[in-house]
Amino acid sequence: MKEDLKLTTKTTKKMPPMKQWGKQMKGENSWTMFKVMSEFVDGLETLNEVGPCVSIFGSARTKPDHPYYKMAVDIARLLTEEGYGVITGGGPGIMEAGNKGASLYGGKSVGLNINLPFEQGTNQYVDYDKNLNFRYFFVRKVMFVKYAQAFVILPGGFGTMDELFEVVTLIQTGKISKVPVILVGSDFWSGLKTWVSDVMLNEAHNISAQDLDLLPIVDDATEVIQIINEFYNRKSEELSPNYSL
């Protein structure tokens, strides 16, 4: 009887919570790996068809009648005339303006949408076969960077800041090639650059003086194109993807 009781106790003993959690995580991690791979494959195949691009970042909240929206349309138009494709986040605001400027003037553009609980559908100016939906921010960021020959940053919020400093960090650390990173709107960006210079550089000594050169500020669409063209004319190199994936 005692032996039967011991046997029953052993067979009904519950698995410790941490072991249950670990077992569940192993299964979820395996599926996550395949989901990530799928997003990389779809993104690389789509962007490879578009060729050399410029990524445009900015707020999803910017309305079509706002000067920065109109400037983003002009910038995308000029980029199209120079033969560049345009990459945006695929949503409203500045993203929509970037896709609109390319679409209206016969250029190529891509929308890299992200699945968020309360935000953004794809804007109407993204071609249906050039719209990519991502679950993972880090995969989306790779797609923003890999084919971009320059980055144009219009005013935005936390997401825009995240994208800006991600790109600058990759350039600063040599993880991607040095390419133009252009801030559009001196009223919006001058205070940030002053803080970077006064505090990060001069007070804390956390960056080098040449790092400030990574962040030119302009107020005109033609200046964006001028900086990009001068950069590549000076380098005299063929355009090529960033990252060695």
Q: Give the domain CATH number at 72.
A: 3.40.50.450
Q: What is the CA radius of gyration of the chain?
A: 23
pLDDT, tens digit, 9 for 90 and up, residues 147-191: 999 999 999 999 999 999 999 999 999 999 999 999 999 999 999
- pTM of the predicted structure, to 2 decimals: 0.84
Burial 43-63 (b: 16+ CB within 10 A, else e): beebbeebebbbbbbbbbebe
pLDDT, tens digit, 9 for 90 and up, residues 62-73: 999 999 999 999
Give the number of domains in the chain: 1
How far apart, in whole angstroms, are the C-alpha atoms of residue 118 and residue 198?
37
40 falls within a domain: yes
pLDDT, tens digit, 9 for 90 and up, residues 89-141: 999 999 999 999 999 999 999 999 987 766 567 899 998 678 888 888 899 99
225 falls within a domain: yes
Q: In terms of residue numbers, what domain contains 183?
A: 21-233
7 falls within a domain: no
139 falls within a domain: yes
174 falls within a domain: yes
Place of tokens 């355009």: 239
69 falls within a domain: yes
Q: Which of 36-40, 78-82, 99-103 has the lowest mean pLDDT?
A: 36-40
13 falls within a domain: no
5 falls within a domain: no
